[in-house]
Amino acid sequence: MSSIKILIADDEERMRRLVADFLKKQGYTVIEADNGMQALKIFIEQKESISLVILDVMMPVMDGWETLRSIRQYSKVPVIMLTAKSTEADELLSFGIGADEYITKPFSLMILLARVQALLKRVNININGKKSFDGLEIDPAAHTVHAGGREIELTPKEFELLLYLCDNEGIALSREKILNCVWDYGYFGDARTVDTHIKKLRLKLGYKGDFIQTIRGLGYKFEVTK
């Protein structure tokens, strides 16, 4: 089974199972949710390991659009909207709040697969779940990091911190948010803990450590620099 994990949310069980079973046959790991609120809860708990999200628009408790808005507060993970709503206004709304793809029902499972593969490729996730950023290779399943072909030994917390930064590539993250997400809300340390770990991480990564940029007065951002 692939380490690439896909979250699917659709209140129509037949449709959800059809898509989930199809993607599982392609080797993906699939998590199912039957409403937007449940999907959001799962995503927040497992966001470091979820590679892509598929959301139905019309769901009870919390619809797909509101779920997408909430997910975008935490991550730039690729999101595909699946919906019977085919108007231009609905499609523009989805893209406006951060959707990466918009597929109307009924649809071809092969087309859905092609979109899934294209999005995963775009965010540098291959079939083994590895992430690649200009010579920096991260394997979440094996818990290994290579920079310029050289294996980098990281502590579990350093690895978790690097993975969190990479999963939020291009997003400016405050020290407090990093502290809460990587050390969790029950941690009673201060923001200097983040600075200390970032410093050690940069040193270990060598020149690839430049990908971790300091945002003055806020925190840090992971961004590939040429």
Express each pLDDT in 190-213 by its tens digit. Answer: 778 899 999 999 999 999 999 999
- Tell me, yes or no, whether 35 and 107 share the same domain: yes
The helix (H) or strand (E) run that includes residue 173 is strand 173-174
199 Cα distance to chain centroid:
24
Quote the pLDDT of residue 148. Answer: 82
Asked if 191 and 136 sit in the same domain, the reply is yes
The first and second tokens of residue 162, run together, are 């690097």
CATH number for 112: 3.40.50.2300
| Of residues 64 and 2, more confidently modeled | 64
Please list, in sequence order, all residues whose beta carbon lies within 8 angstroms of the beta carbon of residue 68, skipping any fewer than 6 positions away.
55, 79, 81, 94, 97, 98, 99
Domain range holding 147? 129-222
pLDDT of residue 187: 52
Q: Using CA atoms in the order 7, 12, 14, 18, what is the torsion angle rounded to 10 degrees? A: -30
Q: Looking at the structure, do residues 13 and 103 belong to the same domain, yes or no?
A: yes
End-to-end CA distance of the chain: 35
Tally the domains of the chain: 2
Q: What is the pLDDT of residues 12-22, one digit of tens each?
A: 999 999 999 99
Q: What digits encode the pLDDT tens for the residues 77-109?
A: 889 998 887 778 878 888 888 888 888 888 889
pLDDT at 90: 79
Asked if residue 115 and residue 134 are part of one domain, the reply reads no
126, 143, 172: which is the final residue of a domain? 126
Do 214 and 166 share a domain, yes or no? yes
pTM of the prediction?
0.58
Assess whether 107 and 119 both reside in one domain.
Answer: yes
Q: Are residues 92 and 146 in the same domain?
A: no
**Confidence (pLDDT) at 107:** 87
Q: What is the pLDDT of residues 22-69, one digit of tens each?
A: 999 988 999 999 999 999 999 988 877 888 999 999 998 899 999 999
Question: For position 189, which CATH number holds?
Answer: 1.10.10.10
Check pLDDT > 80 for residue 124.
no
Residue whose token pair is 């959800």: 16
| Of 106, 126, 146, the domain-final residue | 126
Residue 30, strand partner residues: 6
Give the pLDDT band (50/70/90) at residue 226: low
Determine the pLDDT at residue 1.
Answer: 43
